[in-house]
Amino acid sequence: MRVSERLDRLPLGRFHYKLLLLSGLGWFFDSMDTGLISFILPHLKDEWSLSPTQIGWTGTGALLGMLVGGALAGILSDRYGRKRIFQVTLLIFSIATGLCGFAWSFTSLLLLRVVVGLGLGGELPVAASLVSEFSPARHRGRLVVLLESFWALGWTVALLIGYFLVSWSESRGSPFPWRFAFLIGALPAFYVLILRRSLPESPRFLVSRGRIDEAESTLRAVESGIGVTTAPGDRLEPDPDSGRPARVRDLFGPEFLRRTAMLWILWFTMAYSFYGIFIWLPTLLYEQGLPMAKSIRFSLFITLAQLPGYFAAAYLVEKIGRKATLAPFMLLCAVASYFFGLAHTPSELIAWGCMVSFFNLGAWGVTYGYTPELYPTRLRGTGAGSAAAFGRLGAILAPLIVGAILESWGGGFPLIFTMFAGVLVVGAAGVMLLGEETRGRTLEQISG
């Protein structure tokens, strides 16, 4: 029996929810780190007399590391396994985040943020591949979108930490304790100990590497925990691609070129819009005349709208499909971005900001679920990691361009969000023209 048949016949059980929680907590901590820097930057601007361009580079430092980390971790996960690389990348990013609390200058902080990004960029696509490979075909899209929803929880906790630290410092007339905020971000290092004991390796990966006995042992443990009985003689079959190396150039061969082009366009436009908007959001609201505590409170309201966006996307990906969910979410986010840029009153800022958050993060959930589906097991980590790495180019450019608009071009709020709307339209067009539907198909049917 093929490994796909054994995994796809399983009902959702305690194992799948435990896997979702373990992988999701890694995502939660990654998001919390990214959220922490978004509200630390306005205080560093005042304390270190940073220009808007320097703030843009500080926000971009982790993204430079994510570009390298995503591509490298994807390749390494196809060679050494999803579980091992997931743990290593999580450890790198959490230790480097804690060290940011000891930064003494703009340059030292920027270098440390690059190291943070190496871990951060590697962990996300590897975790998505791991959950995708364990999930039954009929539930795969929904589980990976729910995995991505942990991002909203992490960002919300980061904003709550920021809000309380700002309120505490303002009530005492003391400087904002940004170093302490970074030290909180080092806590995931301890989480790696839990992952070591609780997280299994993907049986699909093990079979692809010819490690049949290990895959069989893992599968029987999963099946036993769910209550599914497998006959003793019903052993796994070898993968016909077993031992075949993952090569980056395969992504651009005739079999995968169309998929790679679509995913790279998608990742670039999604990363450009998300990081450009949300890293700068507290600062942009501050520039609109809101006090810092109030701008963080507004950001919290907007962030909370991400959760129903994820849940709506998780329902729709299995109901109407990946493409039919992703493209409309991106187009509706573009509309919301345009009107958010024109908003002036607090109620308008919150209403349109929540719409941006709802549709952008719902689209992100589909993106993470869609990406690993489009490549075979031997190439899944490389393909997903490379798409994520290319997306980081957009994530790097966006904060810098926002800083340049504020510092030099004089376009301000409306121009910034009109730009994001246009980028999202381009991404939606790429999905509609180049994407293919994967709902209900096994990973082997899609990539075969």
Chain segment 334-381, per-residue pLDDT in tens: 999 999 888 877 788 889 989 999 999 999 999 988 998 898 888 888
Mean pLDDT, residues 192-209: 82
pLDDT band at 194 (very low <50, low <70, confident <90, very high): confident
Q: What contacts 260, CB < 8 A, 6 or more positions away? A: 251, 252, 383, 386, 387
Q: Which residue has the higher pLDDT, 410 or 309?
A: 309
Quote the CA–CA distance of 239 and 424 in Å, as a whole number. Answer: 39
Alpha carbons 167 and 85: distance in angstroms, whole number: 39
Q: pLDDT at position 337, please?
A: 92
Max intra-chain CA distance, the chain: 72
Q: Percent of the chain, pLDDT > 70?
A: 90
Q: How much of the chain exceeds pLDDT 90, in percent?
A: 20
Contact between 379 and 78 under an 8 Å Cβ cutoff? The reply is yes
pLDDT over threshold 80, residue 290 = no
Quick check: 270 pLDDT over 80?
yes
CB 316 within 8 A of CB 325: yes
Residue bearing the bigger pLDDT, 282 or 111: 111
pLDDT score recorded for residue 192: 73
Confidence of residue 447 (pLDDT cuts 50, 70, 90): low
* Average pLDDT, integer, range 255-263: 93
- Give yes or no for a contact between 311 and 185, defined as CB atoms under 8 angstroms apart: no
Minimum mean pLDDT range among 73-82, 165-174, 204-213: 165-174
**Token code pair at residue 289:** 């005349």
Average pLDDT of the segment spanning 208-217: 85
* Local structure of 434: helix, strand or coil: helix
Answer for the pair 278, 151: CB distance below 8 angstroms, yes or no.
no
Most confident of 16-30, 223-237, 419-433: 419-433
- Binning pLDDT at 50, 70 and 90, where does residue 245 land? low
Per-range mean pLDDT, top range of 74-78, 230-234, 315-319: 315-319
Average pLDDT over residues 433-444: 84
Q: What is the mean pLDDT of the chain?
A: 83
pLDDT band at 316 (very low <50, low <70, confident <90, very high): very high
- pLDDT-derived band at 291 (thresholds 50, 70, 90) equals low
Tokens 């061969």 identify what position? 253
pLDDT at 360: 95
Q: What is the mean pLDDT of residues 256-260?
A: 93
Would you tell me how many other CB atoms lie within 10 Å of the CB of residue 265?
23
